[in-house]
Structure 1
């Protein structure tokens, strides 16, 4: 079966993958927006986790098949390897919740204090559930390897095989961050938002090869590889972490938290048989409910609809020399810094968003963990120091931005002033 995708063209689904796609659990991904609430600022950003998952499936197949064409005998790549890599690409986001990362990073920590929960781990549970529920005939070894590949980027995850470790880096690369998941969402998200994309992922796909069980890249493509990380950081800065988008996300998390007792949303995250029923339509469920238990939550959702948002007050970029020991700013910190002549602020009047934007490796240069090769006749891999390539590359690889919002319009000035007082007290300067 083939599907016409607006990024990659015709995507051909193999029989095993199609068995997963044709389930109500996988079709649920159509009702999860890839970029959460970004569509409230970028109207075109209404694409779903469904099409992204198909895109990653396709690129995973392109990557492994290319390696098989040029190094198949040397690497002993077989059909089993191709099937597992493609299936891990298809199912890597199977466990995302309503409005994607907002649910995982905003709602879950609020209502499930101390719970270590991730959409990757939920993807594994969803896969197990769907295999059992729909009696999908999959080899136990394939099932096991697909699950390992989905969480391959998480630290401390063991792999059952000590051979062909490069296969684990195609979809979720924990070694250096270059993977087909990023290839797809960078191009797809840029196109949907209408902001253009200068990262040519095809060049990276075409020039990669395996040396010593590691995916390596041609040295002359150093700046192309750098562009992957730079483009991703730009998307975070201009789209994913847009000040208005964050304001709406903060309101949604508050609304979902208020609705949790009535709707028992948090109880769904432990059981895949219930979890798959959660999707973005929960917003409409709250908005159209007549239940008195949901009044507070409903009022907040309607504020989002009417663009009566939490008011952005100001933001501050943490100085580079303070990043290492930075402690997240809280609403309490803002309230404690207020001027007594202003209206009295309460913690519940203020929201703080501590936004970290980096090149995938925190304060470190991600290219330092990437291996390169000189040309296709060479079997030697090596690292490249960025100062040998260009002096225009950044000297710092992470931004930490503190943003402050007021929940009530009439308190904007008081919150802004308190935030400036905190900046002066903490860093000796203000924005």
Structure 2
């Protein structure tokens, strides 16, 4: 196992966000700005949003949302934030919870505040309250504070981010949370730590391989359990959690045999085998089309064992500083010191030595579902120029795999067995 101690639930994380949201709200009230007074009602609302912000997640969280559901939604949009709103309404109605309607309304607005369609126009002028749990302006929020510290400790890796220091420098200026200028490095450490956690832990090759297997198991069990349909009905959706794999494993219905076998393979560590990976060049990130198993089988040589789509799994991992290809520090407002009444942003030239030239990476990995097929996946060297242009050009050769850019030389053997990593072209 890669990180055997890295086990926690969304419930524990949500409790942490609930606590930190309250701590930030109390801190901001201690630095009270008469123009934006923070009432007990505001603190209650922010804490409620922190507690409920992830209640709309399905089994295996983002894997369910980004890899499983798109197979069944036929292009329709779905997000765990929107599902959180549906679940909140369902729980309040189902259990006749007595709660102030305005508090509930604002808490739900805070949950979706960071989404593209999140509407958080506060009639009271307290826009900054909507940035505490899920910050759509610059990505600095207590959601990240909690999971980065929690996960780094559970995995036994270092964490250069000190959220206590950052919380200590928060204040409200111009209806926005600002930080002391001297703490901008701490903010950058938040973003860089997040990127490093994604690179080394969340998108680890073994982790993504197991995620692919879990998605395949859920897909094969979907009809029997009505998994995808449950997202349309909060009354059914709440029954879905990570125990779905155990339910598949112990269900002896014949139609679930393939799904059961996949779960058993995960238990036995008979995993999909990582073959190779490459990074999409920065100039092609905007128009890159995801690679599919169908794309790959089109480039096999005729003298080889014929590969089928079901033999191949492809994972595309996106790693950024939280704002896609944008530099999040450009949206950060600072104050010179605690007594300042003006805020400002950091000039790009002052932070160019910190922020990488490219704020986003996209890593494509190819897996063989059967270990005996690993040697057949000779493709990364071929694809590294053609596939990243957004219009895939495939090479069909009879005897040896060759590339037009290699003067017709065959692919080196070390690429056949995997293990290499293309970090650029």
One fold, TM greater than 0.5?
A: yes
Q: Is the 8 A contact 2:14 2:51 kept in 1?
A: yes
Offset at residue 329 of structure 1 (A): 1.6
Partner of 1:320: 282
Partner of 2:310: 348
Q: Is the 8 A contact 1:60 1:180 kept in 2?
A: yes
Offset at residue 423 of structure 1 (A): 2.3
Offset at residue 58 of structure 1 (A): 0.5
Offset at residue 392 of structure 1 (A): 4.6
Of the structure 1 ranges 309-318 and 152-161, higher mean CA displacement relative to structure 2 is found in: 152-161
> How far apart are the structure 2 equivalents of 1:269 and 1:393?
39
Of the structure 1 ranges 92-101 and 390-399, higher mean CA displacement relative to structure 2 is found in: 390-399
Q: Is the 8 A contact 1:318 1:399 kept in 2?
A: yes
Q: Report whether the alignment pairs 1:257 with 2:219.
A: yes
Offset at residue 179 of structure 1 (A): 0.3
Offset at residue 222 of structure 1 (A): 1.0
Partner of 2:42: 81
Q: Report whether the alignment pairs 1:102 with 2:60.
A: no
SS across alignment from 2:305:
coil
> How far apart are the structure 2 equivalents of 1:47 and 1:426?
38
Offset at residue 325 of structure 1 (A): 2.4
Inter-CA distance 164–392: structure 2 relative to 1 (3 Å threshold): closer
1:281-334 CA-to-partner distances (Å, cap 9, x unmatched) read: 111111111110100100111111111111100000112222232222221222
> How far apart are the structure 1 equivalents of 2:351 and 2:327?
14
The equivalences for 1:189-338 within 5 A come to 189-338=151-300
1:19-64 CA-to-partner distances (Å, cap 9, x unmatched) read: xxxxxxxxxxxxxxxxxxxxx5311111111111010000000001
Of the structure 1 ranges 79-88 and 120-129, higher mean CA displacement relative to structure 2 is found in: 120-129
Q: Is the 8 A contact 2:121 2:127 kept in 1?
A: no
Offset at residue 178 of structure 1 (A): 0.3
Offset at residue 160 of structure 1 (A): 5.1
| 2:11 pairs with one of 50, 63, 71 | 50
Offset at residue 424 of structure 1 (A): 4.8
> How far apart are the structure 2 equivalents of 1:324 and 1:125?
33
Offset at residue 114 of structure 1 (A): 2.0
Offset at residue 143 of structure 1 (A): 0.9
- Report the RMSD for the aligned CA atoms in angstroms: 1.6
1:133-154 CA-to-partner distances (Å, cap 9, x unmatched) read: 2221111111110100000001
Offset at residue 339 of structure 1 (A): 2.5
Residue ranges of structure 2 left out of the alignment (5+ in a row): 389-404, 407-420
Partner of 2:326: 364
Offset at residue 386 of structure 1 (A): 4.4
> How far apart are the structure 1 equivalents of 2:255 and 2:154?
37
Offset at residue 73 of structure 1 (A): 3.5
Partner of 1:9: none
Offset at residue 118 of structure 1 (A): 1.2
Q: Is the 8 A contact 2:112 2:119 kept in 1?
A: no
Inter-CA distance 425–108: structure 2 relative to 1 (3 Å threshold): closer
> How far apart are the structure 1 equivalents of 2:283 and 2:122?
42
Partner of 1:121: 82
Q: Report whether the alignment pairs 1:383 with 2:345.
A: yes
Of the structure 1 ranges 318-327 and 268-277, higher mean CA displacement relative to structure 2 is found in: 318-327
Structure 1 segments of 4 or more deviating over 3 A? 424-431
Partner of 1:154: 115
TM-score, scaled to structure 1 = 0.87
Inter-CA distance 392–120: structure 2 relative to 1 (3 Å threshold): closer
